[in-house]
Structure 1
């Protein structure tokens, strides 16, 4: 039996774990104790945070929710690893007894499916414990738990034979039914198969399992990772999770003398840049598409740095307990020493991924993540031209998150266009919603028209065609200009098409934002004052201004929205909504002026915003055609620093400081 580390090394790692992670020790022991008596608290389900009683010999099909994820995650058996750690820490045979009881009861309750077709068995949303994804993850949990408890006198040969027989049957199942390599599920199928093929090295089929798994992992890497290093489902959560999915089999192969090709390693390393780009200044990750705002990214990057044996990558992340268990105490301590004195450089520079359509605008005070990407499949949201913006470590406009995969109104809400910081036309999503894991057609496509980045500003100009399928078609084009030398954010939303429509432009604020809609002092703009709870070194407030084209009558209202930082959890948040009726064409310009830190009395004041439609000729096949193109001129003042004048149109951007 071969593994990442030996049982003796895992026993040593437990001592290191107890020293370095005392808080986690308490958490693991509590979870192991609860699971020993058949109570489970399952993350990523609609019962997250609750202890659900499944019985001493657990009922593996009991589901107290309407969420399919509950049964799936229960049957991944992640808790068996907690049993193993608890046993290493305490030597208490209760954990071994529970491990055996859970394995035996699972085998008895869940016979191998034999009456389903190949198509049914490879369907990525198939209910129940024999979905391929659960098999791939469950076998890893079984091996981890056993390796941590294999020195127990209670681990008798009769049980081990039964356990190994089921493990081999599940590996055979993974080798016979092959999932689609373009999604992350297939990676986890083969991650599990490679582990079993390595662990049960003496099994007659083990060489085949290892070869098939390695070849398909290479195929998954080829099919899923785009030229700019982003996983093709275009979801930050699953991208970073894929670092682990691809990285751990590579490390296991290296440790057991069967290394993967060098090209696999280079592709793996190319994924790190996007993971790092998704980390906001507050340490959380952006929650675009089906993502949570977790703090796990640096741990994954640190692990990949250690797997690749590249200090430069590891220093971007952090050394974590995952590295300890996978590499053992000696390597863990060695990496801790290698990281001592290493300064994690907070990247304050703009970075782009044009192949995939993500643009991260950054300076020392701001972080803006702009979405000009395709849908990305089932995990995508109807969020073209949406963005998150942080200023001075405070989330100003945020993504709503995912909340649930359970079919129903909440799933539809969190995936909808109106749950994002973009524009909704006629109350419709940019791409038609079908079900929790399916979008309709046509799918909204984004076109990038311009991207500029310089010392003074970052600017993007993009449009999408999601509303061109309407009977009276409309194209939404958005300009976003983020000032750097002087901090401001300008958003220009330009709708062009035919017919009369209703538009709604939404901004999802942080939960502590207090908003007051005001009459603009110059009378030409809508105005809102946003105040935040006072925190040291964070922006205290912001003024927002809205100006439309001549004849437009935009209205500004507050409404309730929702944000989910973690699956199954949500909180109400304030949403600023600007809406209006228009015919054929309209432009709404929004200016955001941060009001400095809590003790900063000097603030920018808007003087004017002019929005005009300028007639110009465009070349078409039939000859020149007269069209109207927006031009935005604005100026704002700060008594100490003078005046800032900005012009944006289709020809370019001008940002000039005066006096």
Structure 2
């Protein structure tokens, strides 16, 4: 793999000695696999598997594993409990999976063919060689490619509807199709030897999906012969071994390390017997218990500063806990409460229509997707957490489709949640996470006053301090830009996480948190330390006043101060921007406002704009229009990975001494 060796050394020397020692040990262990991996890929067959698991035959091992608990409800007549519209959608997705037609990461529908090329980015045609995973350079700025395509393809989550269709119909063709795909994958991806082993998180997430496939198809005819059973279990076992030996651990960890731990818990509980599974379970659970209070604030916000990753991380902490409980293991009250807090935050940021703010990065990642709802509908997560941990406050805040709950917890859980009396939406603050929600049943204003992600490293956070999204009188008007792409385009990656792509003031065309280098796609300098000066929710209105230090580094320092006021009765939002600094100093101040896709703009006069959206009109007015120049431009919003849609971007601009700007957005009539 091509690496910035000097950069790695410099960064490494800044870390504590114990971290350096642990990293060196991990590197040596990982490199030793160059010799071990080819032998394991060839030799870990039936005899080795039986010796490791202590079984007398593959069929006996299969039978024993089939009797172990798993997060798939048993003795359920699925055709009777799945609503007809959900059934139709599942069967449609299953038919596409059977003919190997997928739509992944903004690709549109693509025919994969037979056999599938597991090593290629089918969006660009770039292909990675079948080699030892640490020798593969998957980060190619000079050659357009996106390694997430083969990774997402190899997660096999797109194949899960075939499993659901099998449970709905009992038709063996679904079992045969899934077996065929798995056999192809195993053949094309020997242990530790392909791009699909280059990231441990990918192997860990496959453990979740493969164990689910096992419990779906364990009694099918297509999965009945000993040779396939042996190859499947051997490969799955090696996934556990690989995950343990290649943990993505650092001094500050994120969702990759959490996914690794979740995979170990699933592998340990699935296999159950033997030294390795016991160690996997203990290690994975110990990591999750240690990382949960580090990665999630006490008020329930994932510290990677991304709403989509908050959902993924919540699933990664929740599902292993649920699996442990099914297997008779304990989960501490502290662990339960922190995950419940994640559910409260999810309930707060999720809007009535089942959409979410596009704060931070997004790659459409899920742990074990079972529902048919749109990718940005997180409402099911609130219900899952509420049911698993018997929290009535979350049960009362659940809404939307119940497919995820039904397939994971059973039809009775879904029925309970559907019948549960719901609570009225209101304003909430998550001060440790830095998120403030000004809300009522018709309005939802999401404000980011938090630090950049990953404990000040950057991570999946953007330059969005003081930015906001707004729904007023039930209409989505103001949006974040989202994330769009990662390594597929450095330029687009940096554009979408830049200050100018967010609804926050920009001074002198500088970033609020400086970029380190164009190729440091997940790192930023931590310049913009937030300060919340006032949070005053009320029956008539909510007020929030916040600032940050991002421009204190300028020759003539400036501190932006933003005052947000939501009038509940009028459904109006007022944003007042002022700037603390030398009043006479000359600065370029730009204040962008990215409108949600579909919102049209009509200029009425100086300081007066009309917005048309969803059959409603809203008036946007601002004070001292002669002091500011307004321009209408083309913006883009990325609702999911690899997809960007056009949107109107308003920009107020002023060069000269510091001057405040106050704007109000309100329904007409």
TM-score band, normalised by the shorter chain?
0.7 to 0.9
Higher strand share: 1
1:20 partnered with 2:91: no
Residues 1:201 and 2:272 aligned together:
yes
Q: Paired residue for 1:424?
A: 506
> Which protein is bigger by CA-based radius of gyration?
1
**Structure 2 counterpart of 1:39, from 96, 101, 105:** 101
| 1:148 partner SS | helix
Deviations 1:86-111 (A, max 9, x none): 22333333333332332222222222
**Residue 215 (structure 1) shift:** 0.8
The 1:277–1:294 alpha-carbon spacing in structure 2 relative to 1, beyond 3 Å, is farther
Q: Quick check: 1:567 aligned with 2:641? A: yes
Choose which of 591, 594, 597 in structure 1 pairs with 2:664.
591
User: How far does residue 4 in structure 1 lie from its aligned partner after superposition?
Assistant: 4.5
Q: Distance in 2 between matches of 1:82 and 1:162?
A: 23
Q: Does 2:648 align with 1:557?
A: no
Structure with bigger RCO (C-alpha 8 Å, 6+ apart): 2
- In the alignment, the residues of structure 1 paired with residue 428 and residue 550 of structure 2 have an alpha-carbon distance, to the nearest angstrom, of 27
- Aligned length in residues: 560
- Going from structure 1 to structure 2, the CA distance change for 1:592 and 1:310 (only over 3 Å counts) comes to closer
Distance change >3 Å, CA 455–CA 28, structure 1 → 2: closer
**Cα RMSD over matched residues?**
2.5
Is 1:461 matched up with 2:542?
A: no
Q: Does 1:516 align with 2:602?
A: yes
> 1:487: Cα distance to partner?
4.4
State the distance in 1 between where 2:529 and 2:75 align. Answer: 53
1:459 match: secondary structure: strand
Change (3 A) 1:312 1:356: closer
1:581 alignment partner in structure 2: 655
Aligned to 1:342: 420
What residue in structure 2 maps to residue 51 of structure 1? 110
CA contact (8 A) 2:622 2:661 kept: no
Q: Please list the CA deviations of residues 128-171 of structure 1 after superposition, one character each: whole Å capped at 9, or x if unmatched.
A: 44411111111111111121111112221111111111111110
Distance 2:319 2:475 in 1: 35
Q: Distance in 2 between matches of 1:34 and 1:265?
A: 38
Aligned to 1:397: 478
Change (3 A) 1:394 1:244: same
Deviation at 1:464, TM superposition (A): 1.5
Q: Structure 1 CA distance, aligned partners of 2:151 and 2:415? A: 40
- Equivalence for 1:146: 214
Q: How far is 1:316 from its partner?
A: 1.5
* 1:269-308 equivalent positions in 2, closer than 5 A: 269-291=340-362, 294-308=375-389
**Bigger proportion of residues as helix:** 2
2:19 aligns with: none
Structure 1 spans left out of the alignment, 5+ residues = 115-125, 521-525, 597-659
Q: Which residue of 2 aligns with 1:218?
A: 289
Question: TM-score, structure 1 length as denominator?
Answer: 0.79
TM-score (norm 2): 0.78
**CA positional deviation for 1:226:** 0.8
The 2-side partners of 1:401 and 1:260 are apart by 35
Task: Give the match for residue 636 of structure 1.
Answer: none
Q: For residue 232 of structure 1, what is the aligned residue in structure 2?
A: 303
Structure 2 match to 1:631: none
**3-state secondary structure, aligned to 2:552:** coil
Rounded to whole Å, the distance in 2 between the matches of 1:480 and 1:315 is 29
Deviations 1:315-369 (A, max 9, x none): 32147222333234xxx2x23443454332231x221111121111123442211
Q: Do the aligned partners of residues 324 and 492 (structure 1) sit closer, same or farther apart at CA in structure 2, a change above 3 Å counting?
A: closer
Choose from 589, 597, 613 the match for 1:503: 589
Structure 2 residue runs without a partner (length 5+): 1-64, 124-144, 365-373
Q: SS of the counterpart of 2:623? A: strand
Establish whether residue 61 from structure 1 lines up as the match of residue 119 from structure 2.
yes
Once residues 254 and 165 of structure 1 are traced to their aligned partners in structure 2, the CA distance between those partners, rounded to angstroms, is 26
Deviations 1:238-263 (A, max 9, x none): 21222221111111111111222232
CA distance in 2, matches of 1:396, 1:162: 53
Distance 2:158 2:631 in 1: 47
SS at 1:228's partner residue? Answer: coil
Following the alignment from structure 2 to structure 1, what is the Cα–Cα distance between the partners of residues 557 and 577? 16
